[in-house]
Amino acid sequence: MIVPRKLQKGDKIGVIAPSNPVTEKSLEAINESILLMESSGFSIEFGEYVFKNTLGYSATAKQKAEDINKMFANKEIKAIFCATGGANSNSTFEYLDYELIKNNPKILCGFSDSTSITNIITQKTGLVTFNGPTFKSLTSWDTSYSYEQVMKRFVKQETSLKEEGDEFITLQEGISEGRLIGGNLSLTAGMSAGSYSLDFTDKILFIEELFFESPPEMVSHYLYQMKQNGVFNKIKGIWVGNYEGPISLEKILLDTLEQEYNFPIIKSNNFGHTDKKQVIPIGTMARIDTSKVNKIELLESCVK
């Protein structure tokens, strides 16, 4: 795997919008994030099309891909954050210059719909990418947890996936090792087959979902989609994150698996559509050991 360079004070951070554009209702949080990161010693540069709504629902696929390619090509940019979530970042796939990205490795971070773009870039280039806060969510939630995780992971190079107060529970016992893959469940399920499918072989899958968009029956749909495409026959373990529905994500998962698989499964609420957003490196080796307090640990550095 290709490990990106850590952030240092004075570095310039790029912001892209591979999903929804930044609109007026998001500007307050975006401006607060600019002030926060500038006060931390960084400068900010936005892509040309971050605020464009060319199609009425987003910029065009080519415009969004152009911003991504330019950010990776720009030697002054040391890390890239997705501005916000939304939909259709997968529209950029065929227009991304994967060789350019591979030859200019840098931090790429986002969650929710960014799941598509972070995972495909890791798959196509071998670059470790990150499921973590979008630029907007550095300040749009009620706590500083997300910002602190960004500083710990990208600046201080800390590797813990658990903070004091984070609770982990065991759903299925066991010990396993594998490279991390996943993020938002609906997006991950959508990449379990097709031209841009992910390789789940020997991976540790982490999943979360937003109840507002995916009620329990849709969660079941996504999980069965993955089961029917053989994902659970390939992976080494599952880490379940946040889902605030009337029926828990872990229950729907266990209903789907029907005790047919013997890999370890753990649960926490420190990533996903919640104020607690661990920065999880996609492509980094990790180990689940359900006998430990820290039930999942990184086995290697994800920035250098």
Kindly list the structural domains of the chain, giving each domain's residue range(s) and its CATH number in brackets, ordered by start: 12-155 (3.40.50.10740), 169-298 (3.50.30.60)
pLDDT at site 141: 85
Q: Is 83 exposed, middle or buried (0-12, 13-18, 19+ CB in 10 A)?
A: buried
* pLDDT digit string (tens) for the chain, length 304 residues: 999 999 999 999 999 999 999 999 899 999 999 999 999 999 999 999 999 999 999 999 999 999 999 999 999 999 999 999 999 999 999 999 999 999 999 999 999 999 999 999 999 999 999 999 999 999 998 889 999 999 999 999 999 999 999 999 999 999 999 999 999 999 999 999 999 999 999 999 999 999 999 999 999 999 999 999 999 999 999 999 999 999 999 999 999 999 999 999 999 999 999 999 999 999 999 999 999 999 999 999 999 9
Query: According to the 3-state scheme, what is the secondary structure of 195-221?
Result: CCCCCCCCEEEEEECCCCCCCHHHHHH
Strands 285-289 and 175-184: antiparallel
Among 245, 240, 263, residue whose Cα is nearest residue 168: 240
- The Cα 27–Cα 21 span in angstroms is 11
Query: Which residues, including other chains, have CB under 8 Å from residue 99's CB and lie 6 or more apart?
Result: none
∠ CA 94-123-9 to the nearest 5 degrees?
95
- The Cα 162–Cα 45 span in angstroms is 31
Q: List the helix and strand counts (H, then E) for the chain.
A: 9, 13
pLDDT at site 142: 82
- The Cα 186–Cα 171 span in angstroms is 21
Residue 126: C-alpha distances to residues 7, 217, 270 (Å): 20, 34, 26
Residue 194: C-alpha distances to residues 89, 115, 197, 265 (Å): 16, 16, 5, 27
pLDDT at site 92: 98
**What is the pTM for the complete model shown?**
0.97
Read off the tokens for 217: 């029956």
Beta-bridge partner residues of 238: 205, 265
What is the CB neighbour count within 10 angstroms for residue 245? Answer: 17
Q: What are phi and psi of 277, to 5 degrees?
A: -130, 95
Displacement of CA 142 from its chain's centroid (Å): 20
Q: Is 72 exposed, middle or buried (0-12, 13-18, 19+ CB in 10 A)?
A: buried
- The Cα 147–Cα 62 span in angstroms is 31
CB 71 within 8 A of CB 100: no
